[in-house]
A and B are shown apart, each in its own frame.
Chain A
Amino acid sequence: MTALVFVEHDNTEVKDATLAAVTAAGAFGDIHLLVAGSDCGAAAEAAAKIAGVSKVLVADDAAYAHPLAEELAAITLSVADSYDAVIAPATTTGKNFMPRVAAALDVAQISDITEVVSTDTFKRPIYAGNAIATVQSSDAKKVITVRSTGFDKAASEGGSATVEAIGAAAQVGVSSYVGAELSKSDRPELTSAKIIISGGRGMGSGENFAIIEKVADKLGAAVGASRAAVDAGFVPNDYQVGQTGKIVAPELYIAVGISGAIQHLAGMKDSKVIVAINKDEDAPIFQVADYGLVADLFDAVPALEAAL
């Protein structure tokens, strides 16, 4: 059997979430990758080096300069016939276009898998991760998105796949890219960071996140937030960790001023070590924390920075 894995990239580098999807695809046997982009030769070369991959299909066309769901679905569908499974990381890009692929193929999509039991049976979290369902697909072709925290990353070096150019699909042309406002940061990305320090409603304001950022800079950590902090406008939306935001599983997760709603826990409870700093000793976050510190965060966080 052969699986096609959609590569998430920025035309130059392959995003880490792709590597977890490649690991998940391993159960299908042979692995091919699809790189759709514009001037994406460097990304295709990087993709060809991923361990375990035998072929990289490259669609290099201006139509794929921006990840429009309609166009990404069309290029994926143009090659999907040859594969037993079509797999993408469950990033906002994968979540956006993959259901279109599944619907066009008239198959169910299996979203956010965390384990491959066999080539037709998968585990996936439901109800904000409060239950894990094992589902078996009766469809001939599997369309799957992969939760990157569920799988180890495939090695990004060591492979030597053949690279094959493919033509662009007929343009769908019903949507266009207008612009983007991307967060600029020198810190690691949330979904691939080894350490994350997140702030919640207890931070009180966006300015107060500065004390968290100082700790982040000392630890080389990413900065995250709870929904409450994003809704309050303290930090941008892409900081949100939780059921419907980013799902993270770093080595160390430090939750500051976060009470620990079910929806937030869903996004971080697979972290290896969890630290909670909160002045409310009854906050639910303490029930999942390995180390809890009951303290005013405005005293504890600067003290933590000083102690590092």
Chain B
Amino acid sequence: MKIMVPVKRVVDYNVKVRVKSDNTGVELANVKMSMNPFDEIAIEEAIRLKEAGTASEIIVVSIGPKAAQETIRTGLAMGADRGILVEHDADAEPLAIAKVLKAIVAEETPDIVLLGKQAIDGDNNQTGQMLAQILGWPQGTFASEVVVADGSVNVTREIDGGLETVKLNLPAVITTDLRLNEPRYASLPNIMKAKRKPIDMKTPGDYGVDMANRLTVLSVEEPSGREAGIIVESVEDLVSKLKEKGVI
């Protein structure tokens, strides 16, 4: 079984982003970039399926700038087999990403596409679902458990009321939630080994996909801030303040 894991290079989750002074976006110069945390979980799950003998090959795919090669290398160092980078410098929208991924799926014929439920920059939560729709595949989003059987996969999903399990025919798209696993750190020998693993360089044109955005960002602003309030001295003080405010 082949597993394809699309990954995105994003601002590291520990960075508190700042809006640019001209309100055209957020400051990305000299900011630490990392693999989207949900995608790391996807790679980890793929590796575990390979270690269990279920998967035979893991392909890491990214659509982004040349520097996204580092993100793919991170996945290769964790244990994926090879990479594909579709070089595209501008911000791309989930629909265009899904179309590129669909074209790669047609070439690579994976049984499962496993990816993060959302990227922590755009917070869209769309790509996996869109890919599943245009492939005509089922989807198991927000996965906290993945159990592969013969010709199908059971996915337990984190939903608003708790957990739900669905059975999907293969091939299928699965998107990861936080509790699926805890991603491993790559060991130094594996980081060295990953440098020799192949990464295919492609462009959206190779797949005939129009990357034009449908949404125009008119402005990006700071959210209305919250001022720190006061420190109360005691529980009694707190309760009387809350009563004054009329919230209890």
Contact = CB atoms under 8 A, between A and B. Distances in A.
Interface of A: 66, 68-70, 73, 91-93, 95-104, 106-112, 121, 125-139, 172, 174-183, 191, 195, 219, 227, 230-231, 236-238, 243-244, 246, 251-252, 262-263, 269, 272-275, 281, 286-295, 300, 303-304, 307-308
A104 B99 CA distance: 12
20 contacts: A69-B132, A70-B138, A92-B160, A96-B141, A104-B133, A108-B213, A127-B17, A128-B123, A130-B17, A131-B19, A131-B222, A137-B215, A175-B139, A181-B162, A244-B178, A252-B247, A292-B228, A293-B232, A304-B239, A308-B239
A209 B118 CA distance: 30
A113 B154 CA distance: 32
Contact of A180 (B11, B13, B165, B238): B165
B144 to A, nearest CB: 7
Interface string B213-248: 111111111110010111110111011011001011
Contacts, number: 256
B115 interface: no
Contacts of A121: 218
A202 B133 CA distance: 42
Interface of A, secondary structure class, is mixed
A132 B229 contact: no
A248 to B, nearest CB: 12
Contact of A175 (B168, B221, B226, B242): B168
Task: Report, as a range, how many residues of chain B touch the other chain.
Answer: 35 or more
Contact of B231 (A106, A243, A262, A286): A286
A135 B216 contact: yes
A139 B228 contact: no
B70 interface: no
A136 B19 CA distance: 19
Contacts of B201: none
Interface in B135-185: 136-142, 144, 154, 157-169, 172, 177-179
Contacts of A131: 17, 19, 26, 220-223
Contact of A109 (B117, B126, B132): B126
